[in-house]
């Protein structure tokens, strides 16, 4: 299997609220919610860097489609990371996320590995790390 990830699907409790957070709060481009004509089909897609896309899909729909029970949410099931080019950019992203309605879990600060990072939780409790890592600077 080639390690090719093209889509990350994030299960959410309230699709409209999640779309508002990412689209209106963080400014991510999307066509909005599509697929409402299908049972369990409502979803929103966001274009990320380098051809990667993120989908927001109701947790109940994701569980039904996969044929698994819907488990309770856990913030530690997965963490997504947003790498930035500077400490100042990390602070700016954290401030933007807070303004959009995120809960700051850990303010950005110096790390043991020589970078600068913090965590916020989106409205569904998903953890996002915002990090400046001098060894992994973004290409754009």
Closest CA to 44 of 70, 16, 13, 65: 16
Predicted TM-score of the model (pTM): 0.88
- With tokens 């080639």, the residue in question is 2
Domain at 7-66, CATH from 3.30.70.660, 3.40.50.720, 3.10.180.10, 3.10.25.10 = 3.10.180.10
> Does the pLDDT value for residue 140 go beyond 80?
no
For residue 4, what pLDDT band results from cuts at 50, 70 and 90?
confident
What mean pLDDT is reported for the chain? Answer: 93
The predicted model gives 7-13 an average pLDDT of: 94
Residue 42 has pLDDT above 90, yes or no: yes
Element (H, E) at 31: strand 30-34
Superfamily of domain 79-132: 2,3-Dihydroxybiphenyl 1,2-Dioxygenase, domain 1 (3.10.180.10)
Q: What is the pLDDT of residue 119?
A: 96
Q: 21 is written with which tokens?
A: 């957070």
Residues of the chain above pLDDT 70, percent: 100
| Residues carrying CATH 3.10.180.10, the chain | 7-66, 79-132
Task: State how far the Cα of 47 lies from the Cα of 132, in Å rounded to an integer.
Answer: 22
Q: What's the gap between Cα 48 and its chain centre?
A: 10
Pairing of strands 53-58, 79-84: unpaired
Mean pLDDT across 31-46: 95
pLDDT in tens, 62-107: 999 888 999 998 888 889 999 999 999 999 999 999 999 999 999 9
Other Cβ atoms less than 10 A from the Cβ of 97: the count is 23
């Amino acid at each position: 299997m080639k390690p090719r990830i093209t889509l990350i699907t994030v299960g959410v409790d309230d699709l409209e609220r999640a779309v508002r957070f990412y689209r209106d709060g963080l400014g991510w481009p999307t066509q909005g919610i599509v697929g409402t004509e299908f049972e369990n089909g409502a979803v929103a897609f966001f274009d990320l860097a380098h051809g990667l896309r993120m989908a927001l899909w109701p947790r109940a729909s994701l569980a039904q489609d996969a044929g698994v029970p819907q488990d309770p949410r856990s913030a530690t099931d997965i963490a997504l990371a947003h790498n930035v080019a500077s400490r100042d950019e990390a602070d700016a992203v954290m401030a933007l996320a807070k303004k959009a309605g995120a809960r700051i879990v850990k303010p950005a600060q110096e790390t043991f590995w020589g970078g600068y990072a913090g965590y916020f939780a989106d409205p569904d409790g998903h953890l996002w790390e915002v990090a400046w890592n001098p060894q992994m600077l973004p290409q754009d």
